[in-house]
Structures are given as C-alpha cells and as structure tokens.
Amino acid sequence: MLRLYGQESDRPPLAWSWVDQQLAAAGTYWVVAQGAAGHPQPRPVWGVWNRQQLHLSIGSPTLARALGERPAATVHLESGTDVVIVEGLVAVAVQTDPATLEAYNRKYDWDYRVEQYGALTRLSPSRVLAWRAAGWAGRESFQQTGCWLFAEPARRIGGSPVAAPIQ
C-alpha cells in the first residue's frame, strides 16, 4: 500500500499498464544517486524501459562512479502531477543486448555505439511508486495511487521480473 503523508492511500488504484506506458514513453529519466560526499546527485539521462528494466545512458563520469560505488538509485520522470518513481539497483557496464540497443536507437533516432559510449546502465526495480494528481501543481490532491514491489534480481526466474501490486 502506498503511504501518502504517513497514511495509507485511500485513492483508487492506478493500473500498472499506465505506469508501464509512462516509463516506455518518457524522453528523460532523472537518475538520483548518492555522491561521494554523501549528497544526492540528480542527472537527466536518456533511456529505454525494456522487459520491466530501465536501461540508461549515463554520460556523467561522476554519476557513473557514484553508481559503481553505491548501486542503489532512484529514477523519476519529469512530471510532478503524473508521477512515476523507480527505486532499485543498477548494474554498471553489463553487456547491452542488441534488442535493447535497437529500441534505444529507434526511440531517440540515434546511433548509440557501445564501443564509443559504454554499455547502457541497467536499473532493476525493487519498488515503483506512482500517483496522479489533479489541478495546477497537484493542488486538487491525489486522484489515483499505486505501489508495486518486484522480486529481487537474484530470485527472478529466467531473469523475468514481475511487478506485484501492493494496493
């Protein structure tokens, strides 16, 4: 159950399909990692949502180093009213499969070359939080909410994650 301001949400549940579509359609993903000095390091990056995992092009050496040292990360999309937040662990410099690379290139009309830019950084979700709010800046409050837990990466059968709603 998603908690809002310390209370369990009493709002109607969001459909996972809406969250899945938001993650697939996003142009920019905001990655937040803990920096060496202990403060958050948010960076906007490109990426692709493929098989319920985020594959991100981390261009910043500082962010890549922070993620390599502390693999826990949070990623959120741009909207403050149609909100999707992904929490999980990253795997840096893991081989990027050709289908994911093709999806990335198609999405951005780009020619991402692993030899030049390095492998995409893969984030495996442990939890996804989402809500939709109404009115300017969400002033009319939460309309729908959702929280999904994912199996730990080591426990995923055949590498296939399954989102389980905890409404």
In this structure, what CATH number is given to the domain that contains residue 104?
Answer: 2.30.110.10
Helix (H) or strand (E) holding 103: helix 98-108
pLDDT in tens, 91-128: 876 788 899 999 999 999 999 998 888 889 999 999 99
Average pLDDT over residues 22-30: 97
Domains: count for the chain: 1
Q: What is the identity of the amino acid at 97?
A: D
Between 144 and 129, residue with greater pLDDT: 129
Q: Which 8-state DSSP code applies to residue 132?
A: E
Q: Among 80, 78, 71, 16, which Cα is nearest to 47's?
A: 78
Residue 135: domain span: 3-165
pLDDT in tens, 151-160: 865 444 344 4
- What is the percent of the chain with per-residue pLDDT over 90, rounded to a whole number? 48
In this prediction, residue 31 carries a pLDDT of 95
